[in-house]
Amino acid sequence: MAFKLTLQEALKEALQDDGKVSKYEARVIRELIMADGQISNEEKTFLENALQNNQFDAEGYELLSSILLRSHIK
């Protein structure tokens, strides 16, 4: 039986240690989002909310905001 981590669970776990998502934790979130090769409207909303709530360190913010930006360009 495989365990699939949801975006909400990944964010909650990443925030537990210091209240911010690091670059490495952001990479895990990015992989969850990009696993199917597309960014759904639900994933866009999740990212927008998390970024607006300032839940990322500078490198994590840069990594995930670039994914969001690319999704709006397509």
Give 11: exposed, middle or buried? Use CB within 10 Å, 0-12, 13-18, 19+: buried
Residue 66 lies in a domain: yes
Residue 1 lies in a domain: no
What's the pTM value of the predicted model, to 2 decimals? 0.80
pLDDT digits (tens, 9 = 90+) for 17-47: 888 899 999 999 999 888 888 888 888 888 8
pLDDT score for 37: 83
Q: Which domain holds residue 14?
A: 7-73
* Rounded (to 5) percent helix, strand, coil in the chain: 70, 5, 25
Number of domains in the chain: 1
Residue 37 lies in a domain: yes
Residue 63 lies in a domain: yes
Residue 53 lies in a domain: yes
Residue 69 lies in a domain: yes
